[in-house]
Amino acid sequence: MSERIFNIALDGTGGDRIDPMAIARAVRFATLINQKLKVTVFGTADLERALLSEKLPKGSYEFIEANELIPQDEDPRKVLTAYKNSAMRMAVEYVKAGKAHAVVSSGGTGPLVCLSRHILGVVDGLRPALCAKIPAGPDSYSLMLDLGANASSSPHDLCSFAKLGHVAFKVLFKKEHPLVGILNVGTERNKGSALVKEARDLIEEDKSIGECRFVEANMLFTGHCDVIVTDGFTGNVALKAAEGVASSFLKRSGIKGFFAKLGRPDWLVPWQYNGSILLGVNGLVVKGHGSAGQEAVAVALSQTASMIAGDLSNKICQELA
């Protein structure tokens, strides 16, 4: 049996519809397909029972009891001062203490970003952002950020996102000069809000990035750009609108649903299952999709294990240095 050398701290309390059994099955699945992975699960006693009932291989997981749950929309000041025994906080602290390589949580975005920034610290001078890998054709991906780590953004913030996404794309997809696009209502230089126009000027001044263009939202899944930069509000709305339409094709009953499933582009679905990475903090923090169930947790764990194996977090820091 190979040694389990990658350790993920899993917040076992977050998510909208995730029950203990689903989390236990996700841990089982992820540690089965990656024999180097060990998961440290933080959660309540019923989660511990669920894990025991799954009879996971010895050494594939450990359990640490954490009984507090941070509400999705808790005030940031309370997030930082209270909830010392919450699974989310304990998991992030586990990474800070060097006991795990990454944290995976499907809890509230606000609390997770807040705790990660505070406990792990931010990369010098940059604004952290949630970044997702979105499909851009067969075997092709773009990175899109920010997806909601920030409630509002300045042109400088968008420039941070461009730098983070640019470096992450280089490291993840081994492409020397990824193309950066800013999400806008038109592709012409004089189109759009003051925010995106000023951001484009700043990004173009940055020698490490080089070229930058505007992209429209109907070009999101087409691979026009490797990195798509947007503010957290717009990014969240764009991806959810896309998700809504994909669902209205796929979540149908009867013959229409059957045809829709046969007719869907293989590469398009299910991008929602991929967790998003919080780029710009000193550590690997992955946010799972809150409502996608056990597959989402399993996929987030597997993908995080690959990112640990690829030394993603350190390589990004080296590139930025």
Residues that bind its own copies (CB under 8 A): 72-73, 148, 151-152, 183, 185-186, 188, 190-194, 216-222, 230, 232-234, 236-249, 252, 256-265, 268
Q: How far is the CB of 75 from its own copies (least distance, A)?
A: 9
Q: Two tokens at 81?
A: 């001062």
Token representation of residue 97: 């203490």
299, containing H or E segment? helix 293-309
Q: How far is the CB of 87 from its own copies (least distance, A)?
A: 21
The nearer residue to its own copies, 80 or 268, going by C-beta atoms, is: 268
- Rounded to the nearest 10 degrees, how much is the dihedral formed by the CA atoms of 272, 274, 275, 277? -120
Eight-class DSSP state of 152: S
Query: Using CA atoms, how far apart are residues 155 and 162, in angstroms rounded to an integer?
Result: 11
Min dist CB 150 to its own copies, Å, is 10
**Residue showing tokens 């979105």:** 134
When the beta carbons of 130 and 312 are compared against its own copies, the nearer one is: 130
Question: Residue 47 CB, nearest distance to its own copies (Å)?
Answer: 25
Distance of CA 227 to the CA centre of its chain: 15
Q: Supply the minimum distance, in Å, between the C-beta of residue 148 and its own copies.
A: 6
Q: Which is nearer to its own copies, 228 or 279 (by Cβ)?
A: 228
| Comparison of 44 and 72: residue with beta carbon closer to its own copies | 72
**Under 8 Å between Cβ of 293 and 18:** yes
Measure the CA–CA gap between 43 and 88, rounded to whole angstroms: 9
- Shortest Cβ 125–its own copies spacing (Å): 24
Cα distance between the two ends of the chain: 38
Q: Are 128 and 113 in contact (CB under 8 A)?
A: yes
Q: 3-class DSSP state for residue 207? A: coil
* CB closer to its own copies, 248 vs 314: 248
- Give me the least distance between CB of 149 and its own copies, in Å please: 11
**Beta carbon of residue 193, minimum distance to its own copies (angstroms, whole number):** 5
Closer residue to its own copies, CB minimum distance, 193 or 318 = 193
Euclidean distance between CA atoms 299 and 37, whole angstroms: 13
- The tokens of 30 are what? 């992820």
Q: Select 180 or 238, whichever has its Cβ closest to its own copies.
A: 238
Under a CB-based contact definition with an 8 Å cutoff, are residues 196 and 158 in contact? yes
Question: Would you say 57 or 259 has its CB closer to its own copies?
Answer: 259
Locus of tokens 């998991």? 91
